[in-house]
Amino acid sequence: MKETYDLFLKTKYAGLVLGAGWESEGRFEQPGHDFITVSGTVGDEIYTRARKVFRDVLQSQDESIVRGCQIKRHYTRKESDAAELFLVLSPYQYGAAEEYGTWYTDAPLRPDCGIDRQELRILQISPFRSVIENKKNLTCALGSRQVGPMHYPFGKLTKRDLISLWGGETVISERFAELIERGRFGGGRIEPIWNTVSGARAFPALEETPTGTELIARAGSMGMKVSDREFWMWVESAEQLPAFEKALWEEKKVAEERRTAAPPSRRYLQLRVKSPPLAVAEQTVLVDPFIGGSQDHCKCELGEIYARVFSRLYVKRSTWDGSDICQTDLYFGGRQGLFRPFRRLMVSKRLFDLMNQEKIKKVQFEIVELV
Ligand SMILES: [Zn+2]
């Protein structure tokens, strides 16, 4: 395996890492940026010097010398042939299912948790004035989850077989879904997506579904109406949630039966992982080697979130039941706007081989180290 890097080195520290006269080597910062991009192989002379300068500057000035560092891993044929499990790297497509009416539960308040403890508050538009302050109502990023079908207009999905959305969901083409089913690849569950054409709706039409009608009647007997905020909190309670979820699936069915438009030419489905999560092993680097500290870390009974993985991914072999479709126990990313933390997707060698053979495009893989 070969690891290459792109280091986004702050221009003011370039001399310390690259030596005087670095500009004459044809290195320039992009307009509007305060860094230059330096590329090479991890462990080379520049990388080693950058690590040393990073430690010195962090200690003396409490500042990082880089804006970031991206590492790519390249494998030989022999290495991929011998691997058993692969981490799937699929690029985000712009957009979030939340924008089209997918229901996510409201995260309950959790004062000890919350990885985004601060928020920007706009005080004045013109001239613009804002303050960054501590959020009053802290919630856990893992406290909100998808209920019922995902809503997304198929026409807005890129023509790929595997897509990640901002909310962390995995969308697959009908072709890929058929390959997974035909090959009996286990560990995942494939669910239909509501091909929303009308755009986002604020609330589901529960009154149009049998289970929703029952829920409304039950709430009514307790003095709650659909227009009340308490009603929507009540349907998300542990006792009502299964019925609410059922009603959301019925709502999709009702809407589709009513639809007169021609069926879409390309169909998509949501791939959800159902196999037991694989434990990330301690060999995995979860702290940015060039920034330091544990940014965006959160741990509570709902789970544990880190910003991202900075090394090869190591998982404990004893936690893998051999499923073809799996995910990590840890979550990555954060809850910023439409972004949500997600578990990293992994596939078995057998599924990896099929994806290569069937040319599932724009997907990259890294070998997962089983320890
Ligand atoms: Zn939490």
Q: If you measure from the C-alpha of residue 99 to the centroid of ligand 1, how many angstroms do you get, rounded to a whole number?
A: 24
- CA-CA distance, 360 to 255, in Å (whole number)? 32
Pairing status of strand 2-10 against strand 35-41: antiparallel
List Cβ neighbours of 89 (8 Å cut-off, separation of 6 or more): 363, 364, 365, 366
Q: If you measure from the C-alpha of residue 290 to the centroid of ligand 1, how many angstroms do you get, rounded to a whole number?
A: 26
- CA-CA distance, 351 to 289, in Å (whole number)? 32
Q: Buried (b) or exposed (e) across 20-30, using 16+ Cβ within 10 A?
A: eebeeeeeebe
Distance of CA 255 to the CA centre of its chain: 29
**pTM for the full model?**
0.88
What residues does the ion ligand 1 have nearby, CB within 5 Å? 113, 140, 298, 300, 302
- CA-CA distance, 147 to 243, in Å (whole number)? 11
Q: What is the pLDDT along the chain (371 residues), one digit of tens a residue?
A: 999 999 999 998 999 999 888 887 777 777 788 899 999 999 999 999 999 999 898 888 888 898 888 899 999 999 999 999 999 998 778 889 988 989 999 988 887 776 666 677 788 877 788 888 777 778 888 889 999 999 999 999 999 999 999 999 999 999 999 999 999 999 999 999 999 876 666 789 999 999 999 999 999 999 999 999 999 999 999 999 999 999 999 999 998 888 877 778 889 999 999 999 999 999 999 988 887 655 668 888 889 999 889 899 999 999 999 999 999 999 998 777 888 999 999 999 999 999 999 999 889 999 999 99
Q: If you measure from the C-alpha of residue 109 to the centroid of ligand 1, how many angstroms do you get, rounded to a whole number?
A: 10
Q: If you measure from the C-alpha of residue 168 to the centroid of ligand 1, how many angstroms do you get, rounded to a whole number?
A: 17
